[in-house]
Amino acid sequence: MKAHLIHGFNVSDGGSDSIGKLAPFFALEGIDVIDHNYGWVGLLRLRWRNRKATRRILPHIAPGDILVGHSNGCLVCWELLEAGAPAGAVICIQPALRRDCPWPTHVPVLCLYNPADWIVSLGRLWGRFISVANPISRRHGWGAAGRHGFDPAPNITNWNTDTPPVPARGHAGLFHTRPLLHWGPRIHHWAITTTGTRT
């Protein structure tokens, strides 16, 4: 089994200073980690780059693998499932996705959110603007789930990270050292428990 890490929008380091920091929590327990770097991209080319990233990542996903996304990387995770990726679970950290995002009911999804993530609210406004400006295109997936969590469903688990004893606030607060050391092992434990993996 592998964990596929997919970084967010407007990232030039391939996610090494954000989603990449979760790699040790998987790798040290025997789960292979693949960092998928789809490069820096501006807003106007983001949809195209997401589609390209989806096509490139899809062949690398084996049955039962875990998709782990941050921000726009969560939209790529959703598009991978829509394209038929046989993932066993999805972990969304501060997802720039709609709260009512229609996840496949057979795939467990963990959403880590917090009410201080105002960046995803800006993303929601951009998504609405794009949908109005170009009504022929499919509805833009961006929304504010990173601030509110996903709508309740049997396969959805929402964690508000702005809680004691170690709160993680904002769009990338979870990747600061102290919150990471608190939430990282919990993310890993959810993944192996949900997929039934023994490490």
pLDDT tens per residue, range 133-155: 444 444 446 789 999 999 999 99
The pLDDT score that the predictor gives to residue 141 is 66
Domain range summary for the chain, segments of one domain joined by +: 2-195
User: In angstroms, what CA-CA distances link 104 with 90, 107, 148, 152, 181?
Assistant: 11, 6, 20, 13, 30
Cβ of 163: how many Cβ atoms within 10 Å? 10
Q: Which two tokens stand for residue 58?
A: 């899809």
- When the pLDDT of each residue in the chain is averaged and rounded to a whole number, the result is 86
State pLDDT tens for residues 38-88: 876 665 566 767 888 899 999 999 999 999 999 999 999 999 999 999 999
Position 9 confidence tier, pLDDT thresholds 50, 70, 90: confident
Question: What local confidence, expressed as pLDDT, does residue 40 receive?
Answer: 63
pLDDT at 100 over 50: yes
Query: Does domain 2-195 correspond to CATH entry 3.40.50.1820?
Result: yes
C-beta of residue 84 within 8 angstroms of C-beta of residue 61: no
Q: What is the pLDDT of residues 27-38, one digit of tens each?
A: 887 899 999 988
What local confidence, expressed as pLDDT, does residue 29 receive? 73
Tokens of 88: 């066993």
This prediction has a pTM of 0.88
